A and B are shown apart, each in its own frame.
Chain A
Amino acid sequence: MRKLTVKGVQVDDTFAEAFGMRATALIITADTARWARQAAETMTGFATSVIGCGCEAGIDCDLTPKETPDGRPGVRVLIFAVSTAELQKQLQNRVAQCVLTCAGTACYAGIAGEERLKLGNALRYFGDGWQISKRFGAKHFWRIPVMDGEFLCEATTALTKQAVGGGNLLIIGRTTQTTRAAAEAAAAAVAKVPDVIAPFPGGIVRSGSKVGAKYKGMTASTNDAFCPTLRGAVKSALDAEAGSVLEIVIDGLTSEAVAAAMRAGIAAIVRLGPRRGAIRISAGNYGGKLGPHYYHLRDLVP
């Protein structure tokens, strides 16, 4: 493997391999930024991986009152799934249980497009006949009476088939502390990039996986090549200096957004440097056999 070192941080000559996904975006508003955020965090909870959660979801950005349809503070949320049907199911359940229920919220489409997913059109039946349809031009909303007033919800939101899931960075450091510092810096940089989310807790995942397992029925298991405590026991990807590895997984509405997020993450890690942060950056792939999207790290270094 050719070696590329940027400001003391080694960047592997490898690539992240990512898949096409279906995605949608929502704008959630509330009387205060705190309650908009609350609804968004609740509905994107338990949405780290499509393997166990049905979807991957997260907060894209906070919105000022000027940026939202109703002039209240808001949050933009992105939701990714492997199929349109699963995306519709997850969207419906999550908005019904987490946004409809949250004090003072309203919910709007956060993305434009031809293909639509049901939003208010699926939730309106909660109104038990008292729901009110309001149309203005191309916009269609449902007003559903609830105990604190009305839940206002756009009838549909758009769906994109251009979304990409599984962009990633493997961050390798000497200690858990320095590795975490590098991962935190990268996650903070990724969070600033529009149209992407890092769905894992705090934007960081510590249990990276490989495909398959020794046990029947397991589709994924621990990525032993990057487990530092197995360094001597397995065919390890780590050298003697490596003491800890963290991963950032990135989902984006477009391939360009994922590349921009990876570029921002790498730049943040390099800025922190090897002494306080990571000594090496790598990426996860399946040998180029599975995903249609490749992100070569050498193209993304600052």
Chain B
Amino acid sequence: MKPLTFLLRDPPEQRLDLSPLVPHLLAGKTVAEIERIELQTTRYRVTAGDVFRVRAGDAAQICLDGASDRLDHVGHAMSGGEILVDGDVGAQVGRLMAGGRLTVRGDAGPFAASGMKRGLIEIRGAAGERLGAPLAGEMAGMRGGVVIVRGRAGERAGDRMRRGTIIIEGEAGPYAGSRMIAGTLIVLAEAGALPGYLMKRGTIVLGGGCGKIPPTFVDCGVYQILALRLLAGLIDPYSKRGAALLKRPLQRLAGDMAVLGKGEIFI
């Protein structure tokens, strides 16, 4: 069956909240019903029909064509199915996602994959700051699933991450994996200053080193850890280069000794 397609008519005049446009909320709805869904974030009412040309199809597979960085909350709490975005997206793409697959062909704004639980997010372009991070006031960020960013990611990628895997094929900004509780963050290119800042547990792998090795991390020697080799096999379908990195001998730094100190950075 053909996918349910939303074609952006014009660049929106206000930021839009696309959280209602997820497979489990659109299942069984007609095009007319979908077009009446309100998406505005200001006082001016905007419906899906106003901004998108909706083409009927299987709600389990949604296409957003000609997307813009003013579209926020794409794939919010989606629990299954697939969303394919042709273009950029705004803030909080895939926030609280609990299953399925979300692909962004362009760039993503801040707080992508925030609080994600399960599923797979692929961002072909760059991701903004605080990838997978919690919003203000929340205790933990990403807690499961897989995120792949083909481009670079902004600062504090994987902030307060609890579980799951983030692979950044490009560079990462400063404070990558800050305050990590657990989980795995892999950066293939260079990371900014002070990765793993105040991390408690978890694993950060830096394929391209980092601006400055944090002073509160301690050297544990160079090893080929079997767990990383096993992880390489598991992430191979998502990132061949990431898998290749994990098979290399890597230097293990334990930290952050300013806090619990049970985390690790591999360089």
Seen from chain A, the residues whose Cβ lies within 8 Å of a Cβ on chain B are 69-71, 106, 129-130, 132-137, 139, 141, 143, 149-150, 152
Grouping DSSP codes into helix (H, G, I), strand (E, B) and loop, the B interface class, with mixed when no group exceeds half, is: mixed
Partner of A135, one of B163, B233, B235: B163
Complex interface: chain A residues within 8 A of B139 (CB): none
Seen from chain B, the residues whose Cβ lies within 8 Å of a Cβ on chain A are 144, 146, 163-165, 182, 184, 201, 203, 223, 225-227, 229-231, 233-235, 262, 264
Interface contact A152-B226, CB-CB below 8 Å:
yes
Partner of B184, one of A70, A130, A134: A134
Complex interface: chain B residues within 8 A of A135 (CB): 144, 163-164
Complex interface: chain B residues within 8 A of A106 (CB): 226, 230
Complex interface: chain A residues within 8 A of B182 (CB): 133
Provided the pairs A69-B233, A70-B233 are in contact, do residues A132 and B262 lie with their beta carbons within 8 angstroms? yes
Interface contact B203-A134, CB-CB below 8 Å:
yes
Q: Which residue of A lies closest to B163 (CB)?
A: A135
Interface contact A143-B227, CB-CB below 8 Å:
yes
Complex interface: chain A residues within 8 A of B184 (CB): 134, 136
Interface contact B227-A137, CB-CB below 8 Å:
no
Complex interface: chain B residues within 8 A of A150 (CB): 225-227
Complex interface: chain A residues within 8 A of B264 (CB): 132
Partner of A152, one of B203, B227, B234, B262: B227
Complex Cα distance, B232 from A152, in Å, reads 14
Q: Which residue of A lies closest to B184 (CB)?
A: A134
Interface contact A139-B226, CB-CB below 8 Å:
no
Q: How far is the CB of B219 from chain A (nearest CB, A)?
A: 16
Q: Which residue of B lies closest to A143 (CB)?
A: B227
Interface contact B227-A71, CB-CB below 8 Å:
no
Complex Cα distance, B226 from A222, in Å, reads 49
Complex interface: chain A residues within 8 A of B227 (CB): 132, 134, 141, 143, 150, 152
Interface contact A70-B229, CB-CB below 8 Å:
yes
Complex interface: chain A residues within 8 A of B235 (CB): 136
Counting from the closest, the 10 A-B pairs by CB-CB distance are A70-B230, A136-B234, A152-B226, A143-B227, A152-B227, A135-B163, A106-B226, A70-B229, A134-B227, A70-B226
Interface contact B229-A136, CB-CB below 8 Å:
no
Interface contact A136-B262, CB-CB below 8 Å:
no
Complex interface: chain A residues within 8 A of B203 (CB): 132, 134
Q: Which residue of B lies closest to A141 (CB)?
A: B227
Interface contact B163-A71, CB-CB below 8 Å:
no
Complex interface: chain B residues within 8 A of A134 (CB): 184, 203, 227, 231
Interface contact B234-A137, CB-CB below 8 Å:
yes
Q: How far is the CB of A140 from chain B (nearest CB, A)?
A: 10
Q: How far is the CB of A155 from chain B (nearest CB, A)?
A: 13
Partner of A149, one of B144, B164, B226: B226
Complex Cα distance, B163 from A149, in Å, reads 24
Complex interface: chain B residues within 8 A of A141 (CB): 227, 230
Residue of A129, A134, A139, A149 with most chain B CB atoms under a 10 A cut-off: A134
Q: How far is the CB of B148 from chain A (nearest CB, A)?
A: 14
Complex Cα distance, B184 from A137, in Å, reads 12
Q: Which residue of B lies closest to A106 (CB)?
A: B226
Complex Cα distance, B264 from A139, in Å, reads 21
Complex Cα distance, B163 from A71, in Å, reads 25
Question: 10 A-B contacts, Cβ less than 8 Å apart?
Answer: A70-B230, A71-B229, A71-B233, A106-B230, A129-B262, A132-B201, A134-B227, A136-B231, A136-B235, A143-B225
Complex Cα distance, B163 from A141, in Å, reads 13
Q: Which residue of B lies closest to A134 (CB)?
A: B227
Provided the pairs A130-B262, A134-B184, A136-B165 are in contact, do residues A149 and B233 lie with their beta carbons within 8 angstroms? no
Complex interface: chain B residues within 8 A of A139 (CB): 234
